[in-house]
Structure formats: structure tokens, C-alpha cells
């Protein structure tokens, strides 16, 4: 009887083990299918030569994945050509030039990319071809154009600066470095590095180390969508671009005095405005706690092609290291306000995007927070 009972127990244990293994295999299979579905949506996935998904759609109507590898040097070359030809008959669109090189090389940019941009411009300059003709047989160009426009779309255009008592109109870079001019910082490419507070996760932003109280600048004009405490980011600000494509996230702001005076959810900000101050708050469920060891600004850029991506497992955050280097060419000067802890921008700017947004809000009968 004992032997029979032992055999029955052994059989039951083996059946349980087989059942458990079967469940693991099913879960792995379903997980793999879910991940593939999340990448591809219910539409199709375009792939580059190295097998990386470069366009993913859901029902064929919005992008689900972007990797931004454009170098500072490539952005600078394309930008310079755009500005130099702004009033010419043939005006180079810097994003279109970058998209052409991106589509040609599967999203990769290297030391040869600047030369490719310049050669492409030369072809366009002599009038024998157009960007439409150059790209008509490029399967992925439309994807790269839309993706890169989502990243860079609000950064170049017309604007006016108040100089010597009057407004002067310009065309060029109207986006700014997130650190005010005259304030030192250090940084390196830390996108994707591991973080463990709360749970294991990749770092989906860019850290810029500096001094407590360093003025933090709005990179692009937009409206404040989020403001307050987050246990991971501490005191933080979320600013949405007017076209809805970009969500700028500024985190770990200063203890006790994190924000520019009067800033609140719904506030409209102009690129170059002081919005807050560097600190090291965060990593605490309790508000106003300095649990971050190193004083720094964490800033991130999320791309939003559909509102379902905003707060989800399918968020698209890009590596901002090269973009931060590019924006260094445009740093907003700030001056201290008396004996307070407040700083204000020195040179005022009028951004047509702000004016258009305010007009639309007023036409729709909505108040505008300042």
C-alpha cells in the first residue's frame, strides 16, 4: 500500500510539473505574440535592412515606434542649409533633408551623413530634381519624414525678438537648450541605462548635471499639461507642444521652490521662458523630498501620434543626447529678479505658434492661463 501511494504521488507530481511547463510555454508564446502585435499593431510593419521595425501602424493610421539617431552634426548641416535658403526660390527643408538620409541609410547617421546632406542639397540646388523625385521610390521616406517632423517640427520657423526697444523678425531656430545661458552643466548619453527605484526600468530621458537653482528653460512653446509631485520625478513639469506631437518632461526640480512664479496647469509658455529650477527631488512617495543623490535636470521627449499612447505601455520616448547638443547653439539668457529666488528671461520673443494657439483658444471660448 505504501508503494502504491508513493507511485500515485509521484505520478501526480509529474503531471503537475508537465502542466506547469505547458503553462510557461503558452505564456511565452502569448507574450511573444503580444509583443509582436504591440510593435506591428493590426496593420503592417516596415523593416529596415537590419531588421529593425521602422514604421509600425495600428489600423494603418499612426506610428507606433521611433528611434531617433540623427547626430548633432547632421542636424546642424541640414539646419544651416534651411536657414541660408529661406528666401531663395529653392528653399531646403531641413527635416526633409534629414528624412532623405535617414530613409537611405535605415535611420543610421555617421560621419558621412553631413556629406550626404550637402550632396543632396547640391542636386536640389541646380534645379534638375526635387525632393519628391528623389524620394518617389524610397519605401520608407514618408515614415522618416513624419517621424522626424514629430521630433523637430516646432523648432525652426519665424519669430520676433525684442531688441533695443523694438521687435525684429527672424527665421531660424526658435527652440532652446533646457539650461539657461551662463550656467554650466555636464552630460553624457545615458538613454536606456538601468534604473531600479520602484521597479527595474530603462532611463527614458536625458540627465544634465548642474547646480541647485539653475534656471530651467522651456525648449519649445506649448502649454503646461502636468505640474506637481511624482514619486519618480519629484517636482516636475510636463509641457505639450501646440500640435500635440511632443510632450516635454522636466523632472527633479528644486525643493521648496521648484517652479517659475505663477506657472500652473494650462499656462501657455513661450520657448526660452524660465519654467523652473534645477534640484534633486524625487524617489519618494512623500512630497518635497530630496532622495536623488546628484543635482540634475532630467528632461525627456515623448512623441505622441495618437492619444492612446500618452499614458500607456506603448509610449515613445527618444534619445535626446544629440538633440541637446544641437540646442546648445540657442541658450536663453536669464536674469535674477531682485533678492528673490526668481529668474526671468532677458530677451523677449514672440512666437507665431503661441499667437495662433491663443487665438484658437479665444475663438473656442476657453480662457488662457498665463
Residue 129 or residue 57, greater confidence: 129
| Fold category of 173-303+342-363 in CATH | Glucose Permease (Domain IIA) (2.70.70)
Please tell me what DSSP assigns to residue 179: B
Residue 67 clears pLDDT 90, i.e. is over it: yes
Residue 174 CA to residue 158 CA, distance in Å, equals 8
Cβ distance 251 to 298 under 8 Å? yes
In this predicted structure, the answer to whether residue 12 has a pLDDT above a threshold of 80 is no
pTM higher than the cut 0.75: yes
- Cell of residue 120, nine digits: 543632396
pLDDT at 362: 84
How is the chain split into domains, by residue range? 173-303+342-363
CA–CA distance, 242 with 356 (Å, rounded to integer):
9
Portion of the chain with pLDDT greater than 70, in percent = 82
Q: Give alpha helix (H) positions in the chain.
A: 2-40, 72-84, 94-104, 113-125, 131-135, 141-152, 321-327, 352-363
Q: What confidence tens digit (pLDDT) does each residue in 132-178 have?
A: 999 999 999 999 999 999 999 999 999 999 999 999 999 999 999 99
Confidence check: pLDDT of 4 > 50? no
Q: pLDDT per residue over 88-123, tens digit each?
A: 999 999 999 999 999 999 999 999 999 999 999 999
How confident is the prediction for the chain on average, in pLDDT? 86
Confidence of residue 334 (pLDDT cuts 50, 70, 90): very high
**Residue 264: exposure state from Cβ atoms within 10 A (0-12, 13-18, ≥19):** exposed
Over residues 178-206, the pLDDT tens digits come to 999 999 999 999 988 878 776 777 888 99
Residue 156 pairs in a beta bridge with 173
Of residues 20 and 188, more confidence is placed in 188
Is 350 in contact with 159 (CB distance < 8 Å)?
A: yes
CA R_g for the chain: 25
Report whether pLDDT(363) > 80.
yes
pLDDT over 90 at 32, yes or no:
no
The predicted pLDDT at position 368 comes to 57
Question: Which residues on adjacent β-strands are paired with residue 217?
Answer: 274
Q: How confident is the model at residue 40 (pLDDT cuts 50, 70, 90)?
A: very low
How crowded is residue 8: how many other Cβ atoms within 10 Å of its Cβ? Answer: 10
Which pLDDT score, from 0 to 100, does residue 18 have? 45
User: Do residues 151 and 246 touch, judged by C-beta distance below 8 A?
Assistant: yes
Confidence of residue 35 (pLDDT cuts 50, 70, 90): very low
Half-sphere exposure at residue 152, Cβ-oriented, CA atoms within 13 angstroms: 31
Report the distance separating Cα 158 and Cα 353, nearest Å: 9
State residue 16's pLDDT score.
Answer: 45
Amino acid at each position: 500500500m505504501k508503494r502504491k501511494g508513493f507511485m500515485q504521488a509521484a505520478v501526480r507530481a509529474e503531471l503537475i510539473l508537465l502542466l506547469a511547463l505547458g503553462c510557461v510555454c503558452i505564456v511565452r508564446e502569448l507574450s511573444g505574440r503580444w509583443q509582436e502585435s504591440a510593435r506591428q499593431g493590426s496593420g503592417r510593419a516596415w523593416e529596415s535592412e537590419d531588421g529593425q521595425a521602422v514604421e509600425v501602424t495600428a489600423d494603418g493610421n499612426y506610428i507606433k515606434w521611433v528611434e531617433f539617431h540623427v547626430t548633432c552634426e547632421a542636424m546642424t548641416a541640414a539646419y544651416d542649409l534651411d536657414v541660408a535658403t529661406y528666401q531663395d526660390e529653392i528653399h531646403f527643408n531641413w527635416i526633409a533633408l534629414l528624412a532623405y538620409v535617414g530613409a537611405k541609410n535605415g535611420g543610421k547617421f555617421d560621419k558621412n551623413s553631413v556629406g550626404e546632406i550637402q550632396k543632396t542639397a547640391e542636386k536640389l540646388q541646380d534645379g534638375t530634381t526635387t525632393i519628391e523625385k528623389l524620394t518617389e521610390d524610397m519605401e520608407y521616406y514618408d515614415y522618416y519624414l513624419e517621424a522626424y517632423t514629430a521630433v523637430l517640427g516646432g523648432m525652426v520657423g519665424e519669430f520676433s525678438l525684442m531688441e533695443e526697444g523694438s521687435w525684429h523678425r527672424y527665421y531660424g531656430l526658435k527652440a532652446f537648450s533646457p539650461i539657461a545661458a551662463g550656467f554650466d552643466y555636464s552630460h553624457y548619453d545615458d538613454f536606456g541605462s538601468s534604473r531600479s527605484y520602484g521597479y527595474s526600468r530603462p532611463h527614458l530621458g536625458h540627465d544634465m548635471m548642474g547646480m541647485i537653482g539653475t534656471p530651467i528653460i522651456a525648449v519649445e512653446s506649448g502649454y503646461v499639461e502636468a505640474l506637481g509631485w511624482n514619486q519618480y520625478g519629484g517636482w516636475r513639469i510636463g509641457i505639450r507642444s501646440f500640435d500635440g506631437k511632443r510632450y516635454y518632461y522636466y523632472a527633479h526640480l528644486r525643493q521648496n521652490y521648484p517652479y517659475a512664479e505663477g506657472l500652473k496647469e494650462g499656462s501657455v509658455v513661450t520657448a526660452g521662458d524660465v519654467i523652473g529650477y534645477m534640484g534633486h527631488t524625487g524617489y519618494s512617495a512623500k512630497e518635497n523630498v530630496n532622495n536623488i543623490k546628484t543635482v540634475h535636470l532630467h528632461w525627456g521627449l515623448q512623441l505622441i501620434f495618437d492619444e492612446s499612447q500618452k499614458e500607456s505601455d506603448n509610449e515613445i520616448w527618444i534619445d535626446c543626447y544629440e538633440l541637446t547638443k544641437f540646442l546648445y547653439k540657442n541658450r536663453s539668457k536669464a536674469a535674477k529678479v531682485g533678492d528673490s529666488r526668481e529668474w526671468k528671461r532677458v530677451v523677449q520673443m514672440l512666437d507665431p505658434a503661441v499667437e495662433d494657439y491663443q487665438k484658437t483658444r479665444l475663438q473656442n471660448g476657453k480662457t488662457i492661463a498665463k
